[in-house]
Amino acid sequence: MAKKKTKVKKPMLPVLKDMPLDGFPYQVSEVKERYEEKPMLEATTLWDFPKQSYGKRPKGNNKYPGVTPAFIVWNLVQRYTQPGDLVVDPMAGSGTTIDVCKEEGRQVIGYDIAPTHPEVIQNDARNIPLEDNSVDMVFIDSPYSDNVKYSDHPDCIGKISCEDDRFFEELEKVAKEAHRILKPGKVLGWLIGDQWVKRKFTPVGFKLYQLLSIYFDTVDVVCVVRRGQTSNTGLWYNRARRFNFYLRGFKYLLVMRKPDSSKPEKGEKTRSVKWTNYERGKTKERKLKESKVKNTANATRVAEG
């Protein structure tokens, strides 16, 4: 009899997995689920988001030039504010900060020199109509040169080139206002990018950081991967390789804190009193005094006797 051929079962190929920046392995289907409702709190200083918004309700308008990724605002709000805190965005654009904060139970005020969102108030970021020390967090996603047309308003900072000193002079006015309205110890998050135009690089992020460090203490610097930009195509990648230049791959998120004068300065050590040790010290000192008195009395008796 002919032996029956036994079919060898082919081993099933493992499901391909990847390791994202937050350290959790995932399948492709899980990526979509991850951003259906709420994002995950980022654990590193390199943030990369697959799209502009999350959840079923849009945050801001992804057609707005230079729209802010909602994930950035969400992460800052989760880390540096509590429900009921007041968040202010002086350059609110299409209202991403407003939409995120309202969903997360934060009070929020958004200003813009040329509002496009119904809840954004028309106002210049260089003169914010709020009291000193009244805000729990400020977020700013400012122009980083005149490369994008944000509005037709003649006073828009985005009409000034970052190669012009006036650009940073105007941003400093915004920084001073953010510092003024923030409560001591509270955080400013400022999103900014560099510029490379006509074979000239301008380190806008570094220059802004130098400016902010005059008024604020540094919490950290996060790099946010840039997506959805017009240069993110095969044509531009080939040009960058052929003509020996780099495309802008990330933006800086500068996380700064307003100094709190009520707390000790950096390097200043404070000593906390351990009352148990203090009481032990008092007891030891008292016993030593009592012993000296007793010895003196004994010596007097011997002398008299």
Output the domain CATH number for residue 238: 3.40.50.150
Q: Is residue 178 situated within a structural domain?
A: yes
The arithmetic mean of pLDDT across residues 32-36, rounded, is: 53
Residue 15: is its pLDDT beyond 50? no
Confidence of residue 235 (pLDDT cuts 50, 70, 90): confident
Determine the Cα–Cα distance for residues 147 and 149; give it in Å rounded to an integer. Answer: 7
Quote the pLDDT of residue 75. Answer: 94
Residue 213, both tokens: 């460090």
Give the global pTM.
0.72
Q: Is residue 34 situated within a structural domain?
A: yes
Q: Is residue 3 situated within a structural domain?
A: no
Residue 289: is its pLDDT beyond 80? no
Q: Is residue 18 situated within a structural domain?
A: no
Q: Is residue 13 situated within a structural domain?
A: no
Domain with 48 in it: 28-257
The arithmetic mean of pLDDT across residues 113-118, rounded, is: 92
Quote the pLDDT of residue 249. Answer: 77
Q: Is residue 68 situated within a structural domain?
A: yes
CA-closest candidate to residue 115, choices 64, 167, 189, 70: 64
Residue 208: is its pLDDT beyond 60? yes
Which is it for strands 107-112 and 135-141: parallel, antiparallel or unpaired? unpaired
Query: In whole angstroms, what separates CA 78 from the centre of its chain?
Result: 10
For the ranges 39-48, 118-127, 255-264, 270-279, which has the lowest average pLDDT? 270-279
The arithmetic mean of pLDDT across residues 34-61, rounded, is: 81
The arithmetic mean of pLDDT across residues 222-230, rounded, is: 79
Confidence of residue 42 (pLDDT cuts 50, 70, 90): very high
Quote the pLDDT of residue 283. Answer: 59
Determine the Cα–Cα distance for residues 149 and 155; give it in Å rounded to an integer. Answer: 13
Determine the Cα–Cα distance for residues 239 and 235; give it in Å rounded to an integer. Answer: 6
Contact 141, 158 (CB under 8 A): no
**What are the start-end ranges of the E strands in 90-181?**
107-112, 121-122, 135-141
Query: CB under 8 Å to 118, separation ≥6 — which residues?
Result: 95
For the ranges 10-19, 36-45, 105-114, which has the lowest average pLDDT? 10-19
CA-closest candidate to residue 139, choices 170, 95, 173: 95
Query: In whole angstroms, what separates CA 241 from the centre of its chain?
Result: 32
Q: Is residue 11 situated within a structural domain?
A: no
For the chain, the domain total comes to 1
The arithmetic mean of pLDDT across residues 146-159, rounded, is: 82
